[in-house]
Amino acid sequence: MNVRFARGRGKSAAGALAVTLMIGLCPWPAFGQARQVPETRQQVTLSFAPLVQNSAAAVVNVYGARVEKRPQNPFMDDPFFRRFFGDGGFGVPKDRVQRSLGSGVVVDASGLVVTNNHVIEGMSEVKVAFADKREVEATILLRDPRTDLAVLKLKAVKDLAAIELADSDQVLVGDIVLAIGNPFGVGQTVTQGIVSALARTQIGVGDAQSFIQTDAAINPGNSGGALIDMQGRVVGINTAIFSRSGGSVGIGFAIPSAMVRVVLESAKAGATTVRRPWFGARLQVLTADVADGLGLDRPAGSVVASLVEKGPAAEAGLQRSDVIQAVDGIMVDDPEAFGYRFATRPLGGMTSLTVLRSGRKVVLPVKLIPAPETRPRDPVALAGRSPLAGLTVMNLSPALAEELAIDAATDGVVIGEIEEGSTAARIGFQKGDVLQALNGERMATSREVETALKERRRAWEVTISRGGQTVTSVFPG
């Protein structure tokens, strides 16, 4: 599957569904009422214009920028050379400004805007432009790569038009939706379609996701824009498209508002990271062979592969090889669907899991608690001549594992940050990699890594864990 973030540039493809499919009477029917097929000519020719007018003012353009520093020629320290060649002359390129363009949604009248994390990823300056051409500077309150969401706070504004978040669990396949955003940078645009599918996983965008699929045209630049229902409420944040050309082909994906609400509430509480319930277990996909062996008619569910000692899953009584089939009675077909459903449960309460064990179903209550910070992270920035120069490593705990979406049972020290242009960055280390051993010696703390690197070596043997795979490589000293 070729999935693209809905930003950048590319050729436009399939358009929105014909407006002649518009249905509904004013006022728009509330959720829970029966969906109706249009019966009269008047119903068919009704316009979405009032709905758009009420919602479009709260959908904004988001502009991100950062300055990429270029290496300075030492001759430029001399005023003589600067006089003749200028600040950027003598073969030295000037600093380059990298920009990004996407969309966002005002979800609180005080100036809170939700957008996609990939729209502002790496950006140091962010501005928001309204449909009436006003531009406002914004600060980044929270980034959440796991869900590809970010929350911005607009400066010196109040009493803004905002869009209410709907309950995405009430959305049905076939519901009419509108996508509002800024595709291709041409200005605010509205497209119309239906909800094509629900609970789409395996999209390759973040984890703990269960996307709404729509055929409302979503093109590059729509990222972070609103997918709204027939009451003008946000049911999802447009995020990605399936496309071979770069433009819409009628398959777009939106993050459900239930997940948006979790991220937004964390930002409102002043958190810099999203607080989610901690499960304390690693899950695997239920294969067709295993499902057949268990007597199931389809491979729907998640197999418990391992448990964290004294974690919520272990304390609830889950066991290895249990198959989790539902959360609070809602079926979950795979680990991604489970992760989404579990992550949207409110902290502090309980949730019930329907589990298949030895051919019989049991229901287990699980506490909804945040992951604990069992030991200080103690971040250490690594320098020197080793292949790890430029990394910041931290002690691994359940809280950090949850934050970086890695297995808490993994032994080692986690890579938290990577300095741009450093030796480690050029080698290809990634944030979330777990450094397990140096030259055959196990690394348990960030200080142990720092001490080990003080030794001069002609070669370094580095063992890391990434995505459940362990790799050992040798680098020159």
Please report where in the chains the tokens 């531009």 appear, as a residue. Answer: 135
CB 434 within 8 A of CB 406: yes
Contacts of 97 (CB under 8 A, 6+ apart): 65, 66, 67, 68
Active site (annotated) includes residue 169: no
Active site (annotated) includes residue 223: yes
Q: Which of 108, 144, 148, 175 is catalytic?
A: 148
Q: Which two tokens stand for residue 264?
A: 């937004």
Ordered DSSP codes for 194-215: EEEEEEE---SSSSS--EEEE-
Q: Which of 118, 210, 229, 333 is catalytic?
A: 118
CA-wise closest residue to 200 among 160, 253, 147: 253
Instruction: Please tell me the distance from the alpha carbon of residue 289 to that of residue 293, in angstroms, as a whole number.
Output: 6
CA-wise closest residue to 56 among 220, 182, 236: 182
Q: In this structure, which amino acid lies at residue 379?
A: P
CB 318 within 8 A of CB 364: yes
User: 190 vs 17, 93, 111, 187, CA distance in Å?
Assistant: 12, 41, 22, 10
Active site (annotated) includes residue 159: no
Cis ω before 312 (30° cut-off from 0):
no
Q: 472: part of which helix (H) or strand (E)?
A: strand 469-476
Q: What is the dihedral of CA 419, 424, 426, 431, to 10 degrees?
A: -70
Instruction: Please tell me the distance from the alpha carbon of residue 253 to that of residue 238, in angstroms, as a whole number.
Output: 6
Q: In this structure, which amino acid lies at residue 46?
A: L
Determine if residue 8 is left, alpha or beta; phi over 0 gives left, psi from -120 to 50 gives alpha, anything else beta: left
Q: How far from the centroid of its chain's Cα atoms is residue 293's Cα?
A: 35
Q: Which of 55, 168, 196, 223 is catalytic?
A: 223
Largest CA distance in the chain: 84
- The annotation places the binding site for substrate at 118, 148, 221-223
Helix (H, G, I), strand (E, B) or coil at 92: coil
- Give catalytic residue positions: 118, 148, 223
